[in-house]
Structure 1
């Protein structure tokens, strides 16, 4: 089941946790700071308790009113049993027949709701998280709700390339990228930003830099003297990640499952401030390891 949900990957040398699996452990740990294992198990057993708890966060209800708030709720006797359990956990109190949620109940409802959202996103974004490096998991999982997912596969191999081309934006003032896949079409398209005078910086991993330097139409990508507004950097180790930062308002992060050739790419695109900040910090961590292209390649 863990492998089906992208929480672990099978390898020749055994089972390895993915970025999604690592994040799953983190969100469970965060949830358990508010909810005990016993009460978490109780909430996870059925959808009915959480529906009732969410309803009580809005305002108090009488028992006779609760069954009408949702078509998904069970019989009144079952609701009564659920409320009795809530009372044992001190999540609700009975005030003259009104079921009122307590401060503890509100905290539990919020924490469990956050957990549900996180798990949904871990499953939905699994193709990306399966490929994301483990050291790149410092973002809040709930922020992925605002992210679009694009996956390249044998049935649709050009989907990510097409999306990258659509992200080309001549109205930005700054563009930064980490590139670990050599694609002449993409290189030629984004050269337009340099021609427009937009401040740009690119970090290429070593295999990509070598291919770019060998291509007549892509040689510019490793030459710092060609454009005053462009700074090329090179990392000496091959990478499995791509980052595109469009000013400080949009980020695209692509992850590959093999060095250099970019097979089966998965990418997220987001304008969520938390993900943009994460993407910028991630980019800077790679930048700190890179060197000017002129120090590595003969121009």
Structure 2
């Protein structure tokens, strides 16, 4: 069993995280030494609260007082820097939560660039279609040929694919058996197009798909779906390392897929 911090260290951590004003005081002192009156002007706290915070920091030797000013010690600077990094990581984790929670095994080697907040679009109760709308916009902005994986079929995505095909874009498309069955029952035109159109090559994965992925000439779009196959979040990137990772993921899924023409007769003969 992994050991946690001893009681004294745990109490110090709990003290620092106990109020946003404590971090704010550390942040001000990280910029420059300051008197309590200066801190009252820049931190939303009373003078009494500031004095108590400074006393707590002094007790832990995170600050020292010289010539009436408080300044961070070397350890105080390190505590601030590590805590700021932790806060940043937690903020990133919160932003990426809807994506990370629905990715399945592919999350094990997910590039960190895809977790940056400015790469993410997430759906919410207030805007449940935010992710799917952004994914559709991404499709409309495609440059070059497309490789894609999808665990769902919708008229929105089918219409976007038609637009791409009309521009001469070639699409390699991986679906699973549930998508094939739904296409056969509800989107027969799209299924026929996937079988016969010269610019689209469709493959069927041997097990249920758990992610959505699209690559064009230089960009990646990763989609995470919930248990009801609603798009919960997408992440976009044009970073080279992310693109190479996405190519590897696509190839891995392709290795376990068969051409649509080889699978379709079997599906048609099923009762």
Shorter chain as denominator, the TM-score bin is 0.7 to 0.9
> Which stretch has the larger CA shift, 202-211 or 127-136?
127-136
Q: Does 1:43 align with 2:16?
A: yes
Q: Does 1:236 align with 2:197?
A: no
> Which stretch has the larger CA shift, 125-134 or 166-175?
125-134
1:100 aligned counterpart, secondary structure: strand
Distance between the aligned counterparts of 1:288 and 1:63, measured in 2?
60
Partner of 1:284: 248
Distance between the aligned counterparts of 1:165 and 1:280, measured in 2?
23
Name the structure where helix makes up a greater proportion of residues: 2
Question: Deviation per CA, 1:97-131, whole angstroms, max 9, x where unpaired?
Answer: 33222443333323323333443454455444443
Alpha carbons 1:212, 1:222 under 8 Å: kept: no
> Which stretch has the larger CA shift, 213-222 or 90-99?
213-222
Superposition TM-score, scaled by structure 2 size: 0.73
Aligned-pair distance for 1:207?
1.8
The structure with more radius of gyration: 2
Structure 2 residue corresponding to 1:206, chosen from 165, 177, 180: 177
Unpaired segments ≥5 residues, structure 2: 266-271
1:289 aligned counterpart, secondary structure: helix
Partner of 1:168: 139
Distance between the aligned counterparts of 1:202 and 1:102, measured in 2?
58
Partner of 2:227: 257
Partner of 1:189: 160
> Which stretch has the larger CA shift, 83-92 or 48-57?
83-92
Change over 3 Å in CA distance of 1:185–1:94 after alignment to 2: same
Partner of 2:190: 218
Alpha carbons 1:60, 1:99 under 8 Å: kept: yes
Distance between the aligned counterparts of 1:252 and 1:110, measured in 2?
32
Question: Deviation per CA, 1:251-295, whole angstroms, max 9, x where unpaired?
Answer: 24232214xxx2x4312344484xx85576256335313334258
Number of residues paired by the alignment? 254
Alignment of 1:65-214 (within 5 A): 65-70=38-43, 72-75=44-47, 77-123=48-94, 126-133=97-104, 135-136=106-107, 138-140=110-112, 143-144=116-117, 146-151=119-124, 160-170=131-141, 172-212=143-183
Superposition TM-score, scaled by structure 1 size: 0.67
Change over 3 Å in CA distance of 1:285–1:170 after alignment to 2: closer
Aligned-pair distance for 1:211?
3.9
